[in-house]
Amino acid sequence: MMEGMGHGASVDLKSTEEKERRLNIPKILKADRETKNSIQYTIVAKQGETKFFRDAKKTKTLGYNGNYLGPVVELKKGKTVTIRTVNRLSEATTFHWHGLVVPSSVDGGPHQVVKAGETKVVKFKVKQNESTLWFHPHPMGKTAEQVYKGLAGLLYVKDEKTKETMLPQKYGENDIPLILQDRKVKNRNVLEYADVEKTDGALGDTLLVNGTINPYFNVKYSQLRVRLINGSNARNYAVKLSDGSSFKKIADDGGYISKAKNVKKIDLSPGERIEVLVDFSKRKIGETVAFETNGVKVVNFKLKEKQGTSLSALAPKSVNENLLKTSSKVNQKLTLFGMGKNVEINGKKFDETRFDIKAKKGETEVWEIYNKKDMMGGMTHPFHIHGVQFKVLERNNQKLDNQETGLKDTIAIKPGERVKIQMTFKEKGVFMYHCHILEHEENGMMGQLRVD
């Protein structure tokens, strides 16, 4: 059992015997139409078939515009985006843009259902800064299962201004995503949600990285930018380099941090994203080094070429809104509590007819969120809010370094921990906040925020 995970983690990841294979890189979704001020896309949720293991039969999966997972959807700051969301599943779904600051009418939460066979068009303006967001379904009672079977994709917010940064941005070459998911693939070809034990979230023993088991990636540049995404239902990761060397953290969920931070480990709870730079400039061509987590390999990097600059020449941008004035008044106190089916926020379970918190557009609030231990110690809850990006002020009364933390929309709170976050509500509507262990969310660890 991993430290800090309490009774939640009862299934460990297993190293695989599967032969190494090239890391799958999700495609960038082609726009249906693009003008100076607008862009249009079509995203189709559908059934698919995926071959996870080399010598096994295909597995029934779900995907966006494909068989498993989805493409990268590029959103450009300042442009109006129109997305035709098409549901070709045999059941209702929603298309939720996790981390996107948009009115709740287009947020794709549990209220914006797209029935089987139907199409719904959403339109919004991209106002936030460059960042790695993602999208996934959010229908009441089916979120966890649909994500588990493969529905998740990436949203990259792009900002023309940041093209000038020296950060790697050749997609698939020196800028790659790693979507981490654990799955139980029964008989090497069955991915049935019914097969998972899901008391505190579905856990599997097989690690999929962008849907690939045991991947390698050929590195051709001296700097590699890696966008780590925890797309798992319930598992926490702690990602390190296999030789223990350090790398640089450059972005949190909502965008760049002001000052790149040297780290040896990245903790990632469900829903969170972190961007890092790995420096290969001092390594020899032919060398390999891997990312590892929870005792298994994530991806093996094979150094083939060292094009480009060394890390010292890179100036991580300070394009962020992090340094907002901090407020010390606490507007809301939330207590997360429980396990399994008995999870709650402030002693209550989700009720769609109740607005738990009301706020006003344009206002800045500080929320204090406390993870109350239970008799067994409790477990980490990744707390997420729709429609805003927040700044983490304090963890257990300890101030966080403003320059080393970026905006976030999901934060892991360990048992007994108390965090203070600050945010400004920029959009109106009814937004969800919930634990991003998807089964906790389904079991009612969710509330509604109404912004007027």
Residue 384 touches ligand C2O, criterion: CB under 6 A: yes
Residue 386 touches ligand C2O, criterion: CB under 6 A: yes
Minimum distance from residue 137 beta carbon to ligand C2O (Å): 10
β-sheet bridge partners, residue 302: 218, 288
Q: 267 or 374: whose CB is closer to ligand C2O?
A: 267
End-to-end CA separation in angstroms for the chain: 44
Minimum distance from residue 95 beta carbon to ligand C2O (Å): 12
Minimum distance from residue 104 beta carbon to ligand C2O (Å): 11
Residue 434 touches ligand C2O, criterion: CB under 6 A: yes
Q: Under rule CB under 6 A, which residues in 93-132 are in contact with ligand C2O?
A: 96, 98
What, of ligand C2O, Cu ion, none, does residue 435 touch, CB below 5 to 8 Å by kind? Cu ion
Residue 136 touches ligand C2O, criterion: CB under 6 A: yes
Q: 71 or 271: whose CB is closer to ligand C2O?
A: 271
Minimum distance from residue 147 beta carbon to ligand C2O (Å): 9
Q: 381 or 436: whose CB is closer to ligand C2O?
A: 436
Q: Give the up-direction half-sphere exposure of residue 119: CA atoms within 13 A in the CB hemisphere.
A: 9
- Give the C-alpha distances (Å, rounded to integers) separating 85 from 41, 65, 69, 161, 428: 8, 11, 15, 29, 22
Total count of residues recorded for the chain:
452
What, of Cu ion, ligand C2O, none, does residue 271 touch, CB below 5 to 8 Å by kind? ligand C2O
Structure tokens that stand for 276 in this block: 């890092």
Residue 386 touches Cu ion, criterion: CB under 5 A: yes
One residue of 271, 338, 387, 406 binding ligand C2O per CB under 6 A: 271
Residue 381 touches Cu ion, criterion: CB under 5 A: yes
Three-state DSSP state, 52: coil
Residues 6+ apart with CB under 8 A from 37: 78, 79, 80
101: how many CB neighbours lie within 10 A of its CB? 24
Residue 432 touches ligand C2O, criterion: CB under 6 A: yes
What, of ligand C2O, Cu ion, none, does residue 414 touch, CB below 5 to 8 Å by kind? none
Residue 381 touches ligand C2O, criterion: CB under 6 A: no
Candidate ranges 28-36, 77-85, 98-106, 152-160; the one touching Cu ion (CB under 5 A):
98-106
Residue pointed to by tokens 């996790």: 98
Three-state DSSP state, 403: helix
Minimum distance from residue 385 beta carbon to ligand C2O (Å): 8
One residue of 69, 274, 430, 435 binding Cu ion per CB under 5 A: 435
Evaluate whether 37 touches 79 at the Cβ level (below 8 Å): yes
Residues that contact Cu ion, how many (by CB under 5 A):
6
| Integer Cα distance of 308 and 319 in angstroms | 23
Closest chain position to ligand C2O (CB): 98
The phi and psi torsions of 104 (rounded to 5 degrees) equal -65, -20
**SS3 of the chain: helix, strand, coil, percent, to 5:** 5, 45, 50
What, of ligand C2O, Cu ion, none, does residue 142 touch, CB below 5 to 8 Å by kind? none
Residue pointed to by tokens 């080393």: 404
Nearest to 391, CA basis, from 439, 327, 307, 344:
327
One residue of 98, 183, 227, 235 binding Cu ion per CB under 5 A: 98
Nearest to 436, CA basis, from 332, 372, 345:
345
Residues engaged in binding ligand C2O (CB under 6 A): 96, 98, 136, 138, 271, 384, 386, 432, 434, 436
Residues engaged in binding Cu ion (CB under 5 A): 98, 381, 386, 435, 437, 440
